Amino acid sequence: MSHILRNYKAAASCKKYLTTQFDYILKNTHLRRLHLTSILDKRVAFKLSDIGEGIREVTIKEWFVKEGDVVKQFDNLCEVQSDKASVTITSRYDGKILKLHHKIDDMAKVGEPLLDFDVEDEDSDDESSETSPSETQTVTSDSPKVHIDSSQAGSPTEVISEEMTRNITLATPAVRRIAREHKVDLSKVTATGKGGRVLKGDVLEHLGMIPAGTTVPHPTLMPKPQVPLPADRIEQLKGVPRVMFKAMTESLKIPHFAYSDEIEMTRLMQFRDEIKGIAKENGISSLTFMPFFIKAASIALKKHPILNSSLDVEKEVVIYKSAHNISVAIDTPAGLVVPNIKNCHNKNIIEIAQDLNAIIDKGRKGSLAPSDFAGGTFSLSNIGVIGGTYTHPCIMAPQVAIGAMGRTKVVPRFNDKDEVIKAHIMSVSWCADHRVIDGVTMAKFSNMWKNYLENPALFLLH
């Protein structure tokens, strides 16, 4: 060396050679990772992984940790917000927080570090994309670079087994390293972590390094207590359920056909409000829409008497009823009952409301008499007070028609001037016995019934 230094020409050549080699090393990244010192730095960069949906960057909304904090696996680190969802990021290491790379409301990109860890006696397979030379070998050829894990450089069977374990068993890289060092198959280790993850303590307990039972299973893995189910109960049909069973069995013999329509209720609502005072003077504390429905049906039945008839199947005759005894479905503590209001064709709305309130009160008290059910000629059911819009009511034999009103909804509608207005719309569903009633007759009846409800001033004519 002294000879070279004494010779200026030789020294210049040496300098040129070393400069060339140094530039070559800088251009070849795999050579830059080559060093001869021991790996003492346990600093691990925790990177933001891909959270799916094509999201490339997120906003840091909240940090649950600060620099200097000691965390465990699966502890919450931070909450990030994308343009689609909010996601909580959890730790994959046991260790100490060394540095937070972002502040609240900063943008973080996928693949960039979120924070740095000082890992407790553990190495990581994902250390800030810098892989230790002691753990990997780089094979360079004309083809793309291939990284081979020297710890897995055994037989192909061992490599395949490890890959299968990675795909099947949930565990952190640090836990996998311990299992690899002790040649433990993670799929055979009893997992106690959240969601069936294998923890460090599980592997140590499997190896006998710590006493059995040291690791407490996560609450999600604890077996839920089995509550014994009561024995099946058999109940004999009696009372109202038995009557309904018989009535619906007969109803199934009738060929039903259905017809539906919508009613604009705004004018009727105003008309009802105007006569509430008169109703209270006559002892009616609550005036519902049902008396209007009943009276409109009675008026339409005069025009279409076939709907107020009954069918004698054996004699094949239709019996037209002169009285309009309209049955009304009422929900009582004993079940659904269908008493009727007698002679609706001879009563006004106030009188029908009084009779309706009387049978409702008797139904709630359980004091309805057989005469309250006898002689029904036509049925109505206001299912809208419970909920629902369209339905398919069942005909009460020997009657031949029934109607069911749905819930009134506020919806936009166009008026005669093509202006959007608020409208109160109620749906109605009719069912009729197709053996004696055709679709045209049912439609005409429904249109007349609808006309009286949408133009309630017409009730004054009756």
Q: How far apart are CA 89 and CA 120, in angstroms?
A: 20
Q: What is the CATH number of the domain that holds 417?
A: 3.30.559.10
Is residue 94 domain-shared with residue 178, that is, in the same domain?
no
User: Which tokens belong to 358?
Assistant: 């009387």
Give yes or no: residues 290 and 401 share one domain: yes
| Cα 158 to Cα 193: distance, rounded to the nearest angstrom | 26
Token pair for residue 101? Answer: 């790379």
Residue 230 covered by a domain: no
Tell me: do 104 and 253 sit in the same domain.
Answer: no
Query: Phi-psi category of 68—alpha, beta or left, where left has phi over 0 and alpha has psi -120 to 50?
Result: left
Do 263 and 401 have their domain in common?
Answer: yes
Residues 193 and 284 in one domain: no
Task: Supply the pLDDT for residue 19.
Answer: 53
| Cα gap 298→325, rounded to integer Å | 9
How many C-beta atoms surround the C-beta of residue 191 within 10 A?
Answer: 20
Structural domain including 203 reads 174-207
In angstroms, the CA 362 to CA 346 distance is 23
Q: Are residues 72 and 202 in the same domain?
A: no
Q: Indicate whether 65 belongs to any domain.
A: yes
Q: Which residues pair with 390 in a beta bridge?
A: none
Asked whether residue 32 is assigned to any structural domain, the reply reads no
CB neighbour list of residue 196: distance below 8 Å, 6 or more residues apart: 170, 221
Query: Do 193 and 287 belong together in one domain?
Result: no
Per residue, the 3-state secondary structure of the chain, as one string, reads: CHHHHHCHHHHHHHHHHHHHHHHHHHHCHHHHCCCCCCCCCCEEEEECCCCCCCCCEEEEEEECCCCCCEECCCCEEEEEECCCCEEEEECCCCEEEEEECCCCCCEEECCCEEEEEEECCCCCCCCCCCCCCCCEEEECCCCCCEEEEHHHCCCHHHHHHHHHHHHHCCECHHHHHHHHHCCCCHHHCCCCCHHHCECHHHHHHHHCCCCCCCCCCCHHHCCCCCCCCCCCCCCCCCCHHHHHHHHHHHHCCCCEEEEEEEEECHHHHHHHHHHHHHHHHCCCCCCCCHHHHHHHHHHHHHHCHHHHEEEECCCCEEEECCCCCEEECEEECCEEECCEECCHHHCCHHHHHHHHHHHHHHHHHCCCCHHHCCCCCEEEEEHHHCCCCCCCCCCCCCECEEEEEEEEEEEEEECCCCCEEEEEEEEEEEEEECCCCCHHHHHHHHHHHHHHHHCHHHHHHC
- Retrieve residue 34's tokens: 């080559």
- Does the annotation mark 434 as catalytic? yes
Q: In this structure, are residues 324 and 301 in contact, taking their beta carbons and an 8 Å threshold?
A: yes
Q: Which of 245, 39, 249 is nearest to 131 (CA)?
A: 39
Residue 4, domain member (yes or no):
no
Most distant CA pair in the chain, distance: 138
CB 92 within 8 A of CB 73: yes
Per-residue pLDDT of the chain (462 residues; tens, 9 = 90+): 344 344 444 444 544 555 555 555 555 544 444 444 434 456 888 888 877 666 788 889 899 999 999 988 888 899 888 876 778 888 888 888 999 999 998 988 888 898 898 886 544 444 443 333 333 333 333 333 333 343 344 444 444 344 443 445 788 888 888 888 888 888 888 888 877 788 888 888 888 888 877 777 766 666 777 888 889 999 998 888 888 888 889 888 999 999 999 999 999 999 999 999 999 999 998 899 999 999 999 999 999 999 999 999 899 999 999 999 999 999 888 888 899 999 999 999 999 999 999 999 998 888 888 899 999 999 999 988 888 888 899 999 999 999 999 999 999 999 889 999 999 999 999 999 999 999 999 999 999 999 999 999 999 887
Residue 195, in any domain of the structure: yes
Q: Are residues 200 and 258 in the same domain?
A: no
* pLDDT score for 111: 85
- Contact at 8 Å (CB) between 269 and 426? no
- Boundary-marking domain end, from 184, 207, 230: 207
Spatial CA neighbour of 95 closest among 189, 191, 173, 204:
173
Give every CB contact of residue 103 below 8 A, 6+ residues apart in sequence: 60
Residues 6+ apart with CB under 8 A from 132: 39, 123
CATH number where 183 lies: 4.10.320.10
Question: How far is Cα 56 from Cα 425, in angstroms, rounded to an integer?
Answer: 49
Do 379 and 432 lie in a common domain?
Answer: yes
Residue 39's pLDDT is 42
Q: Is 422 a member of any domain? A: yes
Per the listing, tokens 């299992």 go with 179
What per-residue confidence (pLDDT) applies to 13?
53
Note whether 351 and 290 are same-domain residues.
Answer: yes
Query: Are 72 and 94 in contact, with CB atoms under 8 Å apart?
Result: yes
pLDDT at 405: 95
Residue 167 belongs to some domain of the structure? no
Final residue of a domain: which of 118, 145, 162?
Answer: 118
From 155, 190, 207, the end of a domain falls on 207
Query: Looking at 41, 50, 125, 438, which residue is catalytic?
Result: 438
* One domain for residues 291 and 386: yes
- Give Cβ neighbours of residue 139 (< 8 Å, ≥ 6 apart): 145, 146, 147, 148
Identify whether the C-beta of residue 255 lies closer than 8 Å to the C-beta of residue 434: yes
Number of domains in the chain: 3
Would residue 430 count as lying in a domain? Answer: yes
From the list 30, 256, 434, 462, the catalytic residue is: 434
Same domain, 332 and 399: yes
Instruction: Examine the residue annotation and report whether 102 is marked as an active-site residue of this protein.
Output: no
